[in-house]
Amino acid sequence: MSDKSKVGLKIRSDVLNDARDTFPIDQCRCLSEFTERALEYYMGYVRSNRMADYLSPTIMSSLKAVSDESTTRITRILFKLAVEMAVMNNLFAASLNIDEEQINSIRHECEKAVRRTNGDFNMNDAVRWQKGG
């Protein structure tokens, strides 16, 4: 014997008709099962005050996949950029005769310039800066 109670509810006709049309889509056997699931879902949402816990697992899965894909893409791009920077640094180091103190001074000034421009610092800016402009 089930632990269920029979209750009478007043529900707007349009909501009831929509529920009758929707419950088979949710693979519920009957309108009562659909109503019970809907109530459990909504009560959990109200109790938790956190909508993310009650978002569709499909939506959450899709968001995670997009996030993971973006992270992978960014990581690959950063790796390629780091390799290119290492090549460039080695080429400059092989052709220039500067000491570590000068390197640290330039690094400090570059960091300030990048912060000031919010990362919008390119080769033209560097040429102007080196020429005192």
| Residue 1: band (very low, low, confident or very high) from pLDDT cuts 50, 70, 90 | very low
Q: Which helix (H) or strand (E) holds 65?
A: helix 57-95
Its domain, for residue 38, covers: 13-54
Are residue 119 and residue 83 in the same domain, yes or no? yes
* Nearest residue to 4 (alpha-carbon basis) of 32, 26, 31: 32
The C-alpha atoms of residue 27 and residue 72 are separated, in whole angstroms, by 37
Examine residue 87 and state whether it is found in any structural domain, yes or no: yes
Residues 23-54 have pLDDT tens digits of 889 888 999 999 999 888 888 777 776 666 55
Domain count of the fold of the chain: 2
3 in any annotated domain:
no
Q: Is the pTM higher than 0.75?
A: no
pLDDT of 54 reads 59
Structural domain contains residue 120? yes
- Same domain? For 49 and 81 the reply is no
Q: Would residue 6 count as lying in a domain?
A: no
pLDDT digits (tens, 9 = 90+) for 52-89: 655 677 787 888 899 999 999 999 999 999 999 898 88
The reply to whether 21 and 50 lie within a common domain is yes
